[in-house]
Structure 1
């Protein structure tokens, strides 16, 4: 007999089931029937929790945003807890620690990283077709990353006695756009040594946008 889970737990279970399917076969392989079979529940259970594939994919996007936010928060928090110098040298050190601390998390989950790009593209295509719910996915993903990055940059500057010479939101957007490209390129060629050099270059560029107080 099927265990009766609270609604939130059942939705989370189905989202994880859908993400497992998508990691193996892409968003096109996610269907209500496939999710039901993978989760070991009836079609009715999936339809009760999600009235369409778009709603399910939107929930997948939300889950990935939460996971990404937690990973960024962990990496950035770890960097700021380390002993650092002050001034621009200290800023460079804390930026390097925070940005490179993200990499093992990314490298350990290549299929999930690829899935974030797929969901973003899917959401944008659905938005262009008039599906407002799907269009929210990409916006939410980037707004969450922006907020985490801005907080990290502001705290890093305060911690090292430096200040930014440009709006922090612009610097965060630039840094995340570069990281986005680095991750996508790595998914293609898996050149981890190249990634480390590229992240070092990014840290140098970002540090160049700050001055000592």
Structure 2
């Protein structure tokens, strides 16, 4: 029988850990349960990782990377685009990612809280990295029609809030048909909010000119 590379084993253990964390929480994610979920033995877990915390660190990085990939794929595939269009597509893609796996969604929220409790600043790493990628995508989308940096920050915050609210609702009720309808609602809310803010930003220079003349 061919020997399975350690890198592949680690990926299998990461996938298994996501499922176990989603079902049993961080405290209930024992190495035995992770090994059973991966169809491996406990010795294999210890061979691949020095400790359970090292495994969780890799799971945390997997979650962070998945968010960045969702954002970056939209960024690459839709360039050139506009700020409203890019924002809507990224928000929808993140919600699709949540909808694609309820367990991934549950594990994400569990891991963020775990990292915040255990490592302080590291607990916001998944947010920081995702928001940095998001701001970059939004900035590039608005390159042909630049907007203030603070508006980019506001759009990123609103998108994160809508996505998080969607994720919590999806975890709570688990109704895919309702979730899909809520995705449309969230995208409509984002579109209307961005349109209003862009109008306000465009109108501000004109108001300042009138004030100077007066």
- Structure 1 residue 145 and structure 2 residue 133: aligned? no
Question: More displaced, 108-117 or 23-32?
Answer: 23-32
Counterpart position of 1:198: 186
Structure 1 stretches of at least 4 aligned residues deviating more than 6 Å after TM superposition = none
CA-to-partner distance for each residue in 1:81-104, whole Å, 9 max, x for gaps?
6xx6xxxxx543343233224333
Whole-angstrom distance in 2 between the partners of 1:14 and 1:94 = 34
Whole-angstrom distance in 1 between the partners of 2:59 and 2:83 = 35
Q: TM-score, normalised by structure 2?
A: 0.76
- Structure 1 residue 34 and structure 2 residue 22: aligned? no
CA-to-partner distance for each residue in 1:70-126, whole Å, 9 max, x for gaps?
122223434446xx6xxxxx5433432332243333222222112100111122222
- Structure 1 residue 164 and structure 2 residue 145: aligned? no
What is the CA distance between 1:41 and its match in structure 2?
Answer: 3.2
Whole-angstrom distance in 2 between the partners of 1:76 and 1:99 = 12
CA-to-partner distance for each residue in 1:121-146, whole Å, 9 max, x for gaps?
12222236xxxxxx62x322112211
Taking structure 1 as reference, are residues 105 and 20 closer, same or farther at Cα in structure 2, changes over 3 Å only? same
Where does the alignment leave 5 or more consecutive residues of structure 2 unmatched? 206-214
Question: More displaced, 164-173 or 198-207?
Answer: 164-173
Aligned-partner SS, 1:162 = coil
> 1:92·1:204 contact (CA, 8 Å) conserved in 2?
no
Whole-angstrom distance in 1 between the partners of 2:90 and 2:39 = 40
Whole-angstrom distance in 1 between the partners of 2:57 and 2:126 = 11
Give the root-mean-square deviation of aligned CA atoms: 2.8
What is the CA distance between 1:165 and its match in structure 2?
Answer: 6.0
Pick from 80, 104, 114 the counterpart of residue 112 of structure 1.
104
> 1:91·1:207 contact (CA, 8 Å) conserved in 2?
no
Whole-angstrom distance in 1 between the partners of 2:137 and 2:195 = 13
Counterpart position of 2:89: 97
Q: TM-score, normalised by structure 1?
A: 0.76
